[in-house]
Amino acid sequence: MPNPSGPSPVRRALMRLPRRIAIGEERPRRVPPNARLHALRFSAALLAVIALGSVLLALPWSAVDGRPTAPVDALFTAVSAAAVTGLVVVDTADHWSPFGQAVILVLIQIGGLGFAVGANLLLQMLRRGSNTSLRDQLLLRDGAPALSLREAVVLSGRIVRYTLLAEAVGALLLAWQFSAAMPLPQAAWHGLFHAVAAYCNAGFDLQGGFASMVPYRSSIPVNLVLIGLIQAGALGYVVVADLRRCRRWRLLPLDSKLVLGTNGVLLVGAALFFLAVEWTAALASFPTWAKPLGALFQSVSARTAGFATVNWAEADAVTLFVWVGVMMVGGASGSTAGGVKLATVGVIGAAIAAALAGRSEAQVFGRRLATALVYRALAVVAVFVSLHFAATALLAITENLIGGRTIPFVAMMFEAMSALATVGLSTGITPGLSELGKLLLCLAMVAGRLGPLTLAYALQRHQRPARYRFPEEAVRIG
C-alpha cells in the first residue's frame, strides 16, 4: 500500500539531485612509452624532418647565388644532415647561404640528438622488457609499458644536457682556435657548426672546396677537440654515465665494457694500420711529427664522424678496402654514431673466440653471453653486409653500366659503406654521381640510420621461448 504522505523529505531531496555527479574535470590520460609505437613514431619523425629540410634547402635564399637548388641535391643534403652522415654533392661553405647552413645545422642537431634520445628510450624499453623478474613479466604479459613516463623524461633530459654541454665546450674551444684566422663572429659560427657536426658524428664542414679539415691537419688543439667531440658522441651518454658512476673497470656493466674494449682495440689497430700503409701516400704531405696524429684522427673519424685531414682520393686501395670494415662497426648503441655498433662486434668476437677455444658458450669479462644474443648480433651484421653488397652492386650498375663512367670498384664500395654506416668519408666521387646514384645513396643513408636499431628491435620483440626442441644431429662444416 503506497504511503499517503508521499516520499520523505530526504528522499525528495535526493531525487532532485542530478543523476551524474562530476567530481572533477576528466584529464587526458598520459600514456607511458610503448616500444612498438615509439619505434613507429621515431621512424616517421625522421622522414618528416628530411622532407621539411629538403623543401627548405630547395628555396632560392638557401643558396649563395640566390637560385633554387636542384631537388635531388636538396634531398641528398637533407638526408645526409638528418642521418648525420656528411656526404655532400655541393660544398657546404661554397654553395649554401647562411640560412642554408643554419638549416643544415638544425637538421644535424635534430638527427643526432633526436636519434640519441629516441634510440636510448627504445633500447631501455627492450632492456627492461627482457628483465626476468616476475613483476616485469606480469606487467609485460598484461600489456603494460616497460618504461614509465617519469623514467623516460628523466633519461631524455640527461641526454639533452650531456649533448648541449659537450657541444658548448667544443664550440668555445674551436671558436678560440678559429679566431686566429678569421673575425670573431665568423669564428664563433664556425666553432658552433663544427662542434655540433663533430659531436653528432656528421662530417659537414665550412672550409670550402670540399677540403674537410685538411687546413687544420697540423693543428694539435683542433684535432684533439674534434677527436674528443667525436668520441663523446660515438660512445653516448649511457657509457659516459657508467664511467662516471662506477669509476672502476670491474664495476662497469658488461655492455659498457664491451663498448669500451672494442672501441679501444679498433682505434689503436686502425691508427697503426693507416700510419704504416699511408706514411708515404695520404700522409706524405704531413710533417713527420704530425703523421701519428693524422693516423689517429682518421681512425677516430672513420667511426661514422666523416671528417678528414687527408685527401682520401690519394689513399691506397688496400686502405680503402680495410676502411670499409672499420666504417661498418660504428659507435655504441644509442649514440649519435651509425654502423652495426661496437657491442654487436664485441659479441661476435666473443663467440668466435669461444668457438676457437672449443667452448660451447660465448664468455667475456667473466660473464656468459646468451645464445640468442649471439644469434641477433650475427643477424644484424649479416643483414648490414647484405645491404652493402646490394648498394655497391646497384651503384656500379647506375654509374658504370648505365652512366658509362669508369669509377673504380673499391671507390664505390667505400662510398656505399660510407653512406650505409652514416660515416661521410668520400674519395670525391659523390658530387659526380648520377641522379640515380644519389638517390641510391639517400636510401642507403636512411636504411643505415634506422636499419640496425629497427632490426635489433624486431629480433628481440619477436623472440619467443621454445616449447619443444628437435633431436640434435651433426652437420659437416668447413
What pLDDT does 320 receive? 96
* Beta-strand pair 367-368/363-364: antiparallel
Maximum distance among all alpha carbons in the chain?
Answer: 116
Does 271 have pLDDT greater than 50? yes
pLDDT band at 140 (very low <50, low <70, confident <90, very high): very low
What 3-state DSSP class applies to 367? strand
Nearest to 50 by CA among 116, 108, 100: 108
Does 462 have pLDDT greater than 60? no
pLDDT tens digits, one per residue of 65-110 = 999 999 999 999 999 999 999 999 999 999 999 999 999 999 999 9
Rounded Cα gap, residues 170 and 167, in angstroms: 5
What pLDDT does 134 receive? 40
Nearest to 63 by CA among 87, 112, 98: 98
Domain ranges of the chain: 33-132+145-461
pLDDT band at 37 (very low <50, low <70, confident <90, very high): low
368, three cell numbers: 656468459
Rg of the chain over all Cα atoms, to the nearest angstrom: 27
Dihedral Cα 325, 328, 333, 336, nearest 10 deg = 120
Does 468 have pLDDT greater than 60? yes
The whole-chain average pLDDT of the chain stands at: 86
Rounded Cα gap, residues 73 and 286, in angstroms: 33
What pLDDT does 372 receive? 83
Residue 209, CA distances (Å) to 213, 462, 463 in order: 11, 48, 50
Q: Are 345 and 376 in contact (CB under 8 A)?
A: no
For residue 203, count other CB atoms closer than 10 A to its CB. 29
Helix runs in 205-341, H state only:
220-246, 254-277, 291-301, 317-329
The identity of residue 475, as a single letter, is V
Q: Are 420 and 445 in contact (CB under 8 A)?
A: yes
Instruction: Taking residues 394-409, report their average pLDDT.
Output: 92
Rounded Cα gap, residues 74 and 58, in angstroms: 5
Tell me the percentage of the chain whose pLDDT exceeds 70.
Answer: 82
- Which span out of 43-52, 108-117, 267-276 was modeled with the highest average pLDDT? 267-276
Residue 411, CA distances (Å) to 201, 291, 329 in order: 22, 24, 19
> What letter does residue 200 receive in the DSSP assignment?
T
- Which span out of 166-180, 246-260, 367-381 was modeled with the highest average pLDDT? 166-180
What pLDDT does 145 receive? 43
Instruction: Taking residues 26-44, report their average pLDDT.
Output: 59
Burial of 9 (C-beta count, 10 Å sphere; 0-12/13-18/19+): exposed
What pLDDT does 117 receive? 82
- Indicate the pTM of the whole model: 0.85
406, three cell numbers: 669508369
pLDDT tens digits, one per residue of 193-237 = 999 999 999 999 999 999 999 999 999 999 999 999 999 999 999
pLDDT tens digits, one per residue of 327-360 = 999 999 888 888 999 999 999 999 999 999 988 8
